Amino acid sequence: MSVERARVGYVLKVYPRLSETFILNEILAHEQAGLDLEIFSLRDPKESATHSDVTRVRAPVTYLPNESIDARTLGEALIRASNSLAPDDTILRFKKPPNPWVYYQAVRLADQAAERGISHLHAHFATEATTIARLAARMAGITYSFTAHAKDIFHESVDQDDLRRKARDAAAIVTVSDFNVQFLQDLLGEDADNVSRIYNGIDLDEFPCSTSQRDPTKIVAVGRLVEKKGFDVLVDACSLLVQQGHKFTCKVIGGGDLRESLKARAQGHGLEGFVEFTGPLAREVVRKEVCDASMLAAPCVVGDDGNRDGLPTVLLEAMALGTPCVSTPVTGIPEILHDGETGLLVAERSAEELAQAMLKLMHDRDLASQITRNARSLVEREFDIHRNTGELRRILCERSPVGAR
């Protein structure tokens, strides 16, 4: 099916979400290319702050019902689901997902898809959004696909049988790095035969290489304050730099469950005046902070629960903007940070190596300039949002049944 004939429904757990700029970028690029989109969100966003680019999205947004309903309404939805789905899809197990509410939302999504001529559903993250997209697609008689990222495949809580079922039934699976492709193939075997690697892209016009004056002693880190980001290691590395007598500032941008413990860790090291936790900031403010900094630090780790980053979009954005990056060889990161060429890589959980690398970027401006040039070239070759979403559109439209509209 051509882009002109396809009508794709994007199924997301929460839309819009401040930390998921890669989804926003993807939607905007699709619309610019003429793809007819609708967005279905399982929940209302709780965040008061959003990126200004959200206002550029033309696609209508439907929030699937999450208000209280009576037992009869839920029962009717369950009966409809049982009449449309295979028996294995309608078994409710004690204290195990899916819960009955999933079927109610799936029925409503199937109805919306049929009423609006949706020919294909695409979900981000192989968890709840994909569960509902799969059920709704089967009830509506259309196809679905999903993009797998990180926690949705790596975390210890992932139900491998459920993931295998989603992969087997999907018209296509997309994931964001070669590392993820190999992981899924090793985990799922022939059920992952239809997996494709499409890197998250960025709009290079929105991220021009900055020529502004940078503060040579400013470090910036951006991400949710969760274990896999490794910000505890960053705090410890900053402490080492202070002990060695170096002057610098480090801004950690983002919110999350570990904010208070990270602040306490920084205070325990006596880092007042050196490390600042800003909380979440708007996209344009984050971009300016990154442009002003001498480097971006992303000391990612594999969490105790198996969770880890797939390929952090913030690294791509910093590389495009001309800000040198230091990170770790976790998952797909070595696919973009080639040590000494497009960035610096240090051992996971090593505050000592991280401190040394940050010090090197602060003082070796020739190295920083070389990394900047090489990183921008790599991003231009491999991570252009329009080229990469074009490949995704090809997959979505090829899998969309011609007779759906």
Q: What's the confidence (pLDDT) of residue 4?
A: 58
Q: pLDDT-derived band of residue 213, with 50, 70 and 90 as boundaries?
A: confident
- Mean pLDDT over 266-293 rounds to 95
Q: pLDDT-derived band of residue 40, with 50, 70 and 90 as boundaries?
A: very high
Q: Which residues contact 70 (CB under 8 A, 6 or more apart)?
A: none
State how far the alpha carbon of 40 is from the alpha carbons of 37, 108, 112, 372, in Å: 10, 11, 9, 39
Q: What's the confidence (pLDDT) of residue 67?
A: 84
Say if CB 220 and CB 250 are below 8 A apart. Answer: yes
Q: What is the pLDDT of residues 18-30, one digit of tens each?
A: 788 899 999 999 9
Burial class (CB in 10 A: 0-12, 13-18, 19+), 60: exposed
Return d(Cα 384, Cα 390) in angstroms, integer: 10
Distance between first and last Cα of the chain: 10
Higher pLDDT, 281 or 94: 281
Q: What's the confidence (pLDDT) of residue 193?
A: 92
Q: What's the confidence (pLDDT) of residue 283?
A: 85
Q: By mean pLDDT, which of 43-57, 113-127, 220-234 is the weakest?
A: 43-57
Higher pLDDT, 94 or 346: 346
pTM: 0.90
Q: By mean pLDDT, which of 41-55, 232-246, 314-328 is the weakest?
A: 41-55
Answer whether residue 111 shows pLDDT above 70: yes
The closest alpha carbon to 349, from 317, 293, 316, 304, belongs to 304
Q: What's the confidence (pLDDT) of residue 60?
A: 96
Answer whether residue 87 shows pLDDT above 90: no
Q: What is the pLDDT of residues 188-205, one digit of tens each?
A: 999 999 999 999 999 999
* 218-382 has the same fold as 7-201+384-404: yes
Q: What's the confidence (pLDDT) of residue 282?
A: 86
Domain covering 218-382 assigned CATH 3.40.1710.10 in the classification = no
Mean pLDDT of the chain: 93
Return d(Cα 155, Cα 40) in angstroms, integer: 25
- Mean pLDDT over 282-301 rounds to 95
Q: By mean pLDDT, which of 34-38, 230-234, 281-285, 395-399 is the weakest?
A: 395-399
Superfamily of domain 7-201+384-404: Glycogen Phosphorylase B; (3.40.50.2000)
Measured at the CA of 325, the angle between CA 321 and CA 330, to 5 degrees, comes to: 125
Q: pLDDT-derived band of residue 403, with 50, 70 and 90 as boundaries?
A: very low
User: What's the token pair of residue 95?
Assistant: 């204290």
Q: What is the pLDDT of residues 376-401, one digit of tens each?
A: 999 999 999 999 999 999 999 887 66
Return d(Cα 214, Cα 292) in angstroms, integer: 5
Q: What's the confidence (pLDDT) of residue 66?
A: 85
Q: Where are the domains of the chain?
A: 7-201+384-404, 218-382
Q: Give the H/E segment covering residue 147.
A: strand 143-148
What pairs with residue 9 in β-bridges? 38, 121
